[in-house]
Amino acid sequence: MRKALYALRRRLKLQLSCLKRRIVKPALPKNSDGKVLIHIGCGTTNSPEFINIDARPLAHVHIATSEITSLADFGSGTVDLVYMCHVLEHIKKGDLTKVLFEMKRVLKDGGVLRISVPDFDKLIEVYNASGKDTTAISNQLMGGQDHQYNIHYGIFNQRRLSELLNEVGFREVVSWDPDNCQYHDFKDRASRRMKVDGREIMISLNLEAIK
Ligand SMILES: C[S@@+](CC[C@H](N)C(=O)[O-])C[C@H]1O[C@@H](n2cnc3c(N)ncnc32)[C@H](O)[C@@H]1O
């Protein structure tokens, strides 16, 4: 009952947010350092330095689109940082490299693609620590499935994501720390931890790479 009420409240809040955007469109940020930062699949996160992009037209979303294989609003080589947190797993297998190539197209030379995804290796750790309870990892593995854009199509670990980034031509793939990182002064799924069997397991794989 409490869970259902929470879900209803959340749904209403999101609907209200979408309604607000229909009335007032958010203004694009202008950063004092001149940097262009884009946040793809921002969800409810609204960091004022970022141009927010999401399939759901929430109040703070500047560009509402699910077609992220083509970011027509951005010219080639115009963006300093592309940030995607727990979004890549929502992309169908056939579109995955197209999305990464598109991120590379919009980035300036030397620009950064910063990614966070559920780490399959960590989910296995959670699964084992839970006594092989599949429900412990189902949301992280398959998405919450509470709206049309909350379904997962892909799984990643450090090896797979690094391979993909290299295949597309990114270089210098390294980990980034959500608690100590430029342009990341907000809390999102990049620092998500799961409590299981008295342990806290950090379940996100956070990698960034340079164009
Ligand atoms: C799991 S949420 C992550 C939200 C936020 N980044 C965070 O870490 O808390 C995934 C977000 O990606 C958005 N999304 C999913 N597929 C998308 C697509 N093809 N294009 C744009 N946004 C998408 C969803 O609407 C949702 O807001």
Rounded distance, CA 37 to CA 53, Å?
Answer: 11
Q: What topology does CATH give the domain 2-210?
A: Rossmann fold (3.40.50)
Ligand 1, atom 14, residue with closest C-alpha: 41
**Residue ranges covered by each domain of the chain:** 2-210
Closest CA to 89 of 178, 166, 157: 157
Compute, in angstroms, the gap from residue 53 CA to the centroid of ligand 1: 9
Q: Is the CB of 45 under 6 A from ligand 1?
A: yes
How confident is the chain (211 residues) per 10-residue block, as mean pLDDT? 87 93 93 97 97 97 97 97 98 97 98 98 97 96 94 98 98 97 96 95 98 98
Residue 170: per-residue pLDDT: 98
Residue 4: per-residue pLDDT: 87
Residue 2: per-residue pLDDT: 83
Compute, in angstroms, the gap from residue 2 CA to the centroid of ligand 1: 25
Compute, in angstroms, the gap from residue 188 CA to the centroid of ligand 1: 11
Q: Is the CB of 87 under 6 A from ligand 1?
A: yes
Residue partners of 67: CB distance under 8 A and separation at least 6? none
Residue 209: per-residue pLDDT: 98
